[in-house]
Amino acid sequence: MEKVYIFDTTLRDGEQAPGFSMTADEKLQMAHQLAKLGVDVIEAGFAAASKGDFESVHLIAQQVEGPIICSLARALEKDIELAGEALKPARRKRIHTFIATSEIHMKYKLRMSPEEVLERAKKAVEFARRFTDDVEFSCEDATRSQREFLYRVIETAIKAGATVINIPDTVGYAVPEEFARLIEDIRNNVPNIDRAIISVHCHDDLGMAVANSLMAVKHGARQVECTINGIGERAGNAALEEIVMALKVRKDFFGGLYTDINTREIYKTSRLLCRITGSFVQPNKAIVGDNAFAHESGIHQHGVLAHPLTYEIMNPEDVGFPSTRIILGKHSGRHALKRRLNELGFKLSDEDLERIFEKFKALADKKKEVYDEDLEALIYEEFMKVEEEEPIKVKHYQVQTGDNLLPTATVVLSFRGEERTATSTGNGPVDAVIKAIQKALKVEPRLIDFSIKALTPNTDAQAEARLVIELDNVKASGRGVDTDIIKASVSGFVDALNRAIMRRNYILSKESIREEGTV
């Protein structure tokens, strides 16, 4: 078995994509998580690009242990020197220097002859070796380079001291069979290639970055340069999570090749990047998208509930995904509905389930997805006579907050017609008002999940607050929407409380037990 090294360039190439820039502290936070993920190399930035990039590389070199810390540098002494200086604190360091080798780049961008490029490459690698024994050399736009010249450049770079040779598909031009043949040709035509690791760096302009990378690995590459969520220039880079899981799931095809990635950290790393950049992956994104382990079709749901491997080639837990999601919609069947109702605490007879299933199908035809709140409404409407209306109603609340001011909230609410008032402080305005509500009701539900997202753009956007709580071993979710984040949070929390109380009373009523006048 052979190892494939994972070179993560999220903080360099990934950050170069419009809208994905990060502060030094955000890069450091991301770098620590990448180390926890188990990547072999972190390309921390392009030290010569700006003062901020230099500081980011230096900070990561100082504080992040485990992976090799790398900085990109053009084949210029000033770039290489700055990279060497930024990387100085790192225990393990690499300088990654590059120059274009395609005719179109040499003629129009570099305005250099092939011989000048060859000499520049040699001198760059030799100079980089003054700062570290670990030097990577990249032939920019390798897939559009003339083969014989490409072989000469690679041979020269290795003679000068390069330990890793990177073959980038810089503009995402290659197709898998062609790229695999390129790797094979390099192995067969560069006499000293056995003295260096072959790396690949593929872009996704034609949607084949992952396929190209995997075919390169199949044909002898042993390092893959990739990014979390596939972010990067233009259409992005090969996605780390897809490369790693393809090698893991299809190790039969890849001959037992492996990585040292802790795959259970993949989902967490993806979500951290989303939070830092404010840019989320599409729902159908492989491995980390919201729908990656979601099923709506009744046939698929039945199969997955019977045995997950019927429709899932990997366990969600293997990538740190919370769990398989059964999406209830118009394609769902009785098995999925029954399971979700059971999870919500509703145990129905076959006859009652059939009644609810008919109403569920009618509702599902009118909307894309049926949520827990919808199911509860169907249950209450059909069977439950315990509560005529929601027991808790917020009449008024007031929050005082500001710089150097302890957030304080006062609420006036009614519980089954009885008015109650309470005041509390908190870590923030939302925390303060929720604690005041709990104080007024004399309850302390366990908060399981709390999220806020904007439903519309701009500063006057509507905010949606979603909460999941547990009260007396009964779970319930709530939702609130408003342009005011505090109001949305209050509405969501009270909604969840009401649902928990009504659900609990429904359970008690089925047992002919009900405690009047208590929450």
DSSP letter, residue 232: -
Structure tokens of 383? Answer: 């069977």
Q: Which amino acid is at 517?
A: G
CA distances from 118 to 115, 152, 244, 359, 441 (A): 5, 8, 34, 73, 77
Q: Is 237 labeled as ligand-binding?
A: yes
CA distances from 465 to 219, 311, 376, 452, 482 (A): 50, 32, 19, 4, 9
Residue 476's CB is within 10 A of a number of other CB atoms, namely: 26
Nearest CA among 300, 297, 319, 321 for reference residue 309: 300
Contacts of 403 by beta carbon, 8 Å cutoff, 6+ apart:
none
HSE-up (13 A, CA, CB side) for residue 314: 23
Q: Is 201 labeled as ligand-binding?
A: yes
For 319-386, give the DSSP string: GT----EE--STT--HHHHHHHHHHTT----HHHHHHHHHHHHHHHTTSS---HHHHHHHHHHHH--S
CA distance 274 to 231: 11
Q: What angle do CA 231, 236, 242 make, to 5 degrees?
A: 70
Burial of 172 (0-12, 13-18, 19+ CB in 10 A): buried
Q: Hey, is 70 helix, strand or coil?
A: strand
Q: What are phi and psi of 213, to 5 degrees?
A: -60, -45
Partnered with residue 97 across adjacent β-strands are: 73, 137
CA distance 272 to 263: 15
Are 148 and 99 contacting, i.e. CB atoms less than 8 angstroms apart?
no
Residue 403's CB is within 10 A of a number of other CB atoms, namely: 4
DSSP letter, residue 17: S
Q: Write b or e for each residue in 78-88: b if 16 or more Cβ atoms lie within 10 A of its Cβ, otherwise e.
A: ebbbbbbebbe
Structure tokens of 369? Answer: 């997805």
CA distance 282 to 288: 9
Q: Is 58 labeled as ligand-binding?
A: no
Q: Is 203 labeled as ligand-binding?
A: yes
The annotation places the binding site at 13, 201, 203, 237
The annotation places the binding site for Mn(2+) at 13, 201, 203, 237
